Structures are given as C-alpha cells and as structure tokens.
C-alpha cells in the first residue's frame, strides 16, 4: 500500500512540476550546465555575466540564470541538460566537454553556447571551427603553448628535457599533449611524461621525473592543476623550475606563463550569446579560440630559482607582467 501512495505522490509532483512555464517576454532565461567546480570555469562564468548584464541594461531585459554543476558526474550532467532543455530557455550555456555533449543530446532547437572547451571538433560538438552547424557554437580555450614554450626557451637557452605530469584520462589533456609535443619540437625540447590518475599520485609521479629532466611543466590538466601544490613542492625541493600554463597556477607557485585569460574568454562567450540573442544563428557563428595570452609571473618563484625575465618580454607591449606576491 505504501508503495502505491509513494508512486502516486511521485506522479503528482511530476505533473505539477511540469506546469510552471509562463514566461515574461522581457525575461531571458539562460541555463548553465557546468561539469565541475573549477576556478577557471568560474572566471569564465564571471566574464559571461559581465557582458550580459551590460547588454541587459542597454536593452531593458531581465536575465535569469539557472546554474547547475554536475560534480564531474556524467549521468548527472545528462539529467541536468535534459531538465534545463525542458525549461525551454533562450540559451543553454555549457562549460566543459561532457556538459556540452550532454546539452547537445538534450536539444536540437535551443541554441547551445559552450565555453572553455579545448577541442570542440574532436568532441563532436561542431563540424568545423568556422562553420559549427547545428544549434551550437562557443569558445575554445586552447592554451597558447607556442608562446609558453618560447618563454621557457628564452629563459633557459640550454634546457633540453621537460618533465610533464598529466592525467591521460582527461579529454582536454590529450588535445593539449598533442599540441605540446608539436610545439616543444619546434623549440628543441624533449618531453618526458609521468602519468597519474588522481591528485594523490602527483607527488610520486613528479618525483619519478627528478633527474630525468631540466624543467617541469604542468599542462591543461584538471587533475594536475587541482593538486599542483605537490608538483610545486617537488620542484622546490629538487631545484627544478616549474612552468605552468594558466594564471591560477602561477599564483599557486608556478614560475611564469602566457595564460589564457578565462575572464576574457568568458567575455567572448558572453558576446556570442548576445549575438544569438540578437537573432543570429549559432550554426553560422565561428568558434572563438581565446588564446590571447598575457604574461603572468610569480615574483617569489623568480627569486627562489634566481631567474630574470628577459628584457624583450618587459618591453613588449603585450601587457605589463602582473607581479604576484
């Protein structure tokens, strides 16, 4: 009997929860499907909000966000995407690859904008970067590895081997490593890999690289970035300089980088959303690759390793280096 009541109760909730739609035309609903809590994704989101709040003021619209984080759970990302599609929002914003794929599977009519995805073509999201096709477009966060490795070469003209700790289980990492190997060849580095599958393995993986390389590098890998402190520790104790690829990691103890500015990337993403809200079709909006890097250095680390940044970087008009405490 109890079972029967329970199922009835479930049904009632279903029916009622399906009923609340009535939407004010002035109100714009944007759903956000974020795969995991991550500082870079948060910065992206901040950038999006900045652009959109300005747009909404100018156009006297009211923007409502429905932000859900999938806690790195694929089945949850699917559920969230479906739920959000049912609310019939104006735009679905998806941050990180599995979330974008889940959104893609949830609707073919509602415009989807993805943010911070390293390789949208390989993830099956778009047909090509220039002509995405379908109902989807967005921004890619391919890191400017070229500039990053040029920087390392300029600081260490004699370095030969770069040790990289990475988690081969991440979609982004694979795309990055391909690019890293390509770029490192250009600057005459040899890459030595140490794989991990969780943050707890980073310490030993980094230690296994000691003696085999002159320089450490942390790629665009969420596992490694989450446990970067262990990498920093190994780097300091063995006096091997650690270069990183994003701003947040410089704050955590990496030496310097040309990083993707995720806030800027978020603004680019926001601009795409505005274009769609203004009536453009996602299929015709090219994917924006946000690799306008800016130089960020960690002064502490520079002192520790006794490194000076070559003059050409300080004089260049890209952007003044932000000196971190």
Partner 1 sequence: MDLLIFALTIGIVYSLLALSIVFSFRILGFPDLTPDGTLLVGASVGAITLNHTNSVVLALVSASIVGAFFGIITALLHNKLKISKLLSGILVMTMLYSVSLRVMGTSNISLINSKSIWFTDFSKSSQIYNLIIAIIIISIIFFLLYLLLKTNIGLRLRALGDSENTAKNLNLNIEKLNVIGLAISNGLAGLAGIIIALYQGFVDISMGTGLVIIGLASIIIGEIILKPNNIFYLLLAGIIGMIIYQSVISIALRLGLPSTDLKIATVMLTILFIFIERIRKSKLTMDRQIGNRNI
* Distance of alpha carbon 89 from alpha carbon 215, whole angstroms: 48
- Binding part of the chain for partner 1, among 74-82, 151-159, 200-208, 286-294 by CB under 8 A, reads 74-82
Residue among 8, 10, 54, 62 that touches partner 1 (CB under 8 A): 10
Residue matched to tokens 């590098």: 217
Interaction between residue 99 and partner 1 (CB under 8 A):
no
Using CB under 8 A as the binding rule, whether residue 222 contacts partner 1 is answered as no
Q: How far is the CB of 19 from partner 1 (least distance, A)?
A: 10
Q: Rule CB under 8 A: is residue 204 a binding residue for partner 1?
A: no
Q: Is 173 in the site for partner 1 (CB under 8 A)?
A: yes
**Rounded CA gap, 157 and 81, in Å?**
49
Complex with partner 1: residue 125 or 209, whichever CB lies closer: 125
Query: What contacts 52, CB < 8 A, 6 or more positions away?
Result: 30, 63, 270, 273, 274
Contact 212, 188 (CB under 8 A): no
Q: Which long-range contacts (CB under 8 A, 24 or more apart) does 273-276 make?
A: 273/30, 273/48, 273/51, 273/52, 273/91, 273/93, 273/113, 274/51, 274/52, 274/55, 276/91, 276/111, 276/113, 276/137
Q: Does 101 bind partner 1 (CB under 8 A)?
A: yes
The verdict on 108 binding partner 1 (CB under 8 A) reads yes
109 binds partner 1 (CB under 8 A): yes
Tokens of 159: 């370095």
* Chain residues 114-133 in contact with partner 1, contact rule CB under 8 A: 122-125
Binding footprint of partner 1 on the chain (CB under 8 A): 2-3, 6, 10-11, 13-15, 17-18, 37, 68-76, 78-80, 82-83, 86, 97-98, 101-102, 104-105, 107-109, 122-125, 168-171, 173-174, 197
């Amino acid at each position: 009997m109890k079972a029967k009541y329970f199922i009835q109760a479930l049904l009632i909730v279903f029916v009622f929860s399906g009923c609340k739609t009535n939407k004010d035309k002035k109100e714009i609903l944007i759903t956000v499907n974020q795969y995991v809590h991550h500082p870079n994704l948060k910065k992206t989101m901040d950038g999006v909000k900045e652009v959109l709040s300005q747009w909404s003021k100018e156009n006297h619209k009211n923007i409502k966000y429905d932000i859900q984080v999938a806690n790195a759970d694929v089945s949850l990302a699917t559920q969230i995407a479906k739920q959000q599609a049912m609310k019939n929002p104006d735009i679905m914003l998806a941050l990180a690859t599995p979330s974008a794929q889940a959104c893609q599977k949830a609707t073919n009519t509602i415009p989807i904008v993805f943010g911070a995805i390293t390789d949208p073509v390989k993830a099956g999201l778009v047909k090509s970067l220039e002509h995405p096709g379908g109902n989807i477009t967005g921004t890619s966060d391919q890191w400017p590895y070229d500039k990053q490795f040029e920087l390392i070469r300029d600081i260490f003209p004699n370095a030969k081997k770069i040790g990289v700790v990475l988690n081969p289980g991440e979609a982004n990492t694979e795309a990055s490593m391909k690019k890293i190997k390509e770029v490192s060849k250009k600057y005459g580095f040899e890459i030595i890999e140490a794989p991990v599958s969780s943050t707890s393995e980073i310490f030993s993986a980094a230690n296994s690289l000691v003696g085999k390389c002159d320089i450490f590098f942390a790629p665009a890998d969420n596992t490694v970035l989450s446990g970067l402190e262990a990498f920093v520790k190994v780097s300091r104790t063995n006096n091997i300089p650690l270069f990183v690829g994003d701003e947040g990691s410089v704050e955590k103890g990496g030496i310097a980088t040309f990083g993707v500015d995720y806030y800027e990337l978020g603004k680019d993403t926001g601009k795409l959303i505005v274009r769609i809200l203004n009536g453009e079709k996602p299929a015709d909006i090219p994917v924006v690759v946000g690799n306008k890097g800016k130089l960020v250095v960690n002064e502490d680390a520079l002192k520790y390793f006794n490194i000076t940044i070559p003059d050409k970087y300080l004089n260049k008009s890209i952007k003044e280096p932000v000196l971190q405490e």
